Structure 1
Amino acid sequence: MVEQDASSGRYSLGTLAVRLGLAAIATLDPVRIATRHLEGLLKELHTTGLLSVWGDYGPTVIRWIDGGIPLFTSMHVGSILPLQGSSTGSLFLTYCPPAQTRGRIERERAEGIIVKDADLSKEIESVRKLGYARTYGSVVPGLAAVSVPVFDSQNCLVATMSVLARSQDKAYFSQAKIAQIVKVAQQAGEAIGWPGPA
């Protein structure tokens, strides 16, 4: 479990401890862990939310969790969210390499979703500063969202959590609620092995 350096006399983790740690990491399921944390949060907030990952066609909804506020939308598991204009998309633009997102932006622009590069840069800067993204009805009319990143042990974005509300409920996303949403995403990341903010 421990070994001692012959020259310094200091102790460190031994090979058995390292193997146990690696075995524990190998059994982690980031989606299951993030889903569990999101479910607990939505139960507290009495609202609906979703979990998204990067799929073949961009940000893809893989969990839709109904909560206390009835929301009527055509969005469902399997829906592809735009990189431009959605809170989920803003997180992928911010935390994924441009080589990963560039092709998807080009496809969106060919389909008529066009946000100026300068505006995308401002959104990325805002997300980096705040640690979350938000929208009010820009993707689905009448639907507001706050989305937060979930990072893994390598500080890579593995999923995004989004908490939804009706866009007319302007006071729903208070700073205290947003801080709670960010905290739960950080806890999910820590459970996956994220070392925490730099």
Structure 2
Amino acid sequence: MPRLAEDLGHHTLCLSVWGNRGPTVVHWEASKQPVSDQLRLGLVMSCTHCATGKAFSAFLPSDMTRAFIEKDLRLHRMPGENAQTQADAFEAELADARQRGITRATNATPSHLHHVPVNAFSTPVSDRNGAMSMALSVTAPASRLPADWGGEVPRKPGTECCARCDWYGAADAMD
């Protein structure tokens, strides 16, 4: 993963699996300018508010993620926000991600974890049968990682390659 981190612009990389509590970090590859000192193995992420969680929400079967998504949407619903409107907007975001093969999360305000505005992109990593087994995410301060779909990370060949690599390709990338 160090080589991939360098190829993608020296951003922080995160490799996650779907755990019994949702998206769970199994490896961090910090950049030369880490996004946070709070990045820990075992960190469980939101299914609806971070790129990693959105990747699992978009690319895993809905029977695996539905309860997690519903709970997350409920926890993050703004006062007066219509639950169906919120769910429909999130489903539209997932449909767009499925079409693109990559998810993103943009934050104009500092997150509770990173303490700075952060942008992130995440792509599914598939097993040899084509099923999503992991998510590979690229994260950096918003000042260093543009959020637009035409930016360097979503267009990088390495990012597209990760969307199609299998378990063995991901293991090779960690060397």
In the superposition, the TM-score normalised over structure 2's length comes to 0.76
SS in structure 2 opposite 1:129? helix
Give the deviation of 1:149 after TM superposition.
0.8
SS in structure 1 opposite 2:65? helix
Q: Give yes or no for the alignment of 1:147 onto 2:110.
A: no
Of the candidates 122, 133, 136, which is equivalent to residue 158 of structure 1? 133
SS in structure 2 opposite 1:169? coil
Greater CA drift, 157-166 or 66-75: 66-75
Counterpart AA for 2:54: S
For structure 2, the residue ranges without an aligned partner over 5 or more in a row are 78-82, 171-175
Residue in structure 1 matched with residue 161 of structure 2 by the alignment: 184
Counterpart AA for 2:123: V
CA distance in 2, matches of 1:108, 1:171: 26
Aligned length: 155
Greater CA drift, 85-94 or 136-145: 136-145
Residue in structure 1 matched with residue 98 of structure 2 by the alignment: 128
CA distance in 2, matches of 1:108, 1:71: 24
Larger radius of gyration: 1
Give the deviation of 1:74 after TM superposition.
2.7
Rate the CA distance shift 1:68–1:172 in 2: closer, same or farther, 3 A: farther
Residue in structure 2 matched with residue 53 of structure 1 by the alignment: 17
Residues 5-38 of structure 1 deviation map (CA, whole Å, 9 limit, x = unaligned): xxxxxxxxxxxxxxxxxxxxxxxxxxxxxxxxx3
Q: Matches of residues 74-85 of structure 1 in structure 2 within 5 Å?
A: 74-85=38-49
Residues 118-155 of structure 1 deviation map (CA, whole Å, 9 limit, x = unaligned): 11111111111111011122783512111111111221
Residue in structure 2 matched with residue 95 of structure 1 by the alignment: 59
For structure 1, the residue ranges without an aligned partner over 5 or more in a row are 1-37, 194-198
Residue in structure 2 matched with residue 7 of structure 1 by the alignment: none
Root-mean-square deviation (CA, aligned residues, Å) is 2.6
Q: Percent identity?
A: 23
Query: Relative contact order: is structure 1 or structure 2 higher (C-alpha 8 Å, sep ≥ 6)?
Result: 2
Residue in structure 2 matched with residue 28 of structure 1 by the alignment: none
Residue in structure 2 matched with residue 3 of structure 1 by the alignment: none
Q: Give yes or no for the alignment of 1:105 onto 2:69.
A: yes
Q: Do the aligned residues in 2 keep the contact of 1:49 with 1:164 (CA within 8 Å)?
A: yes
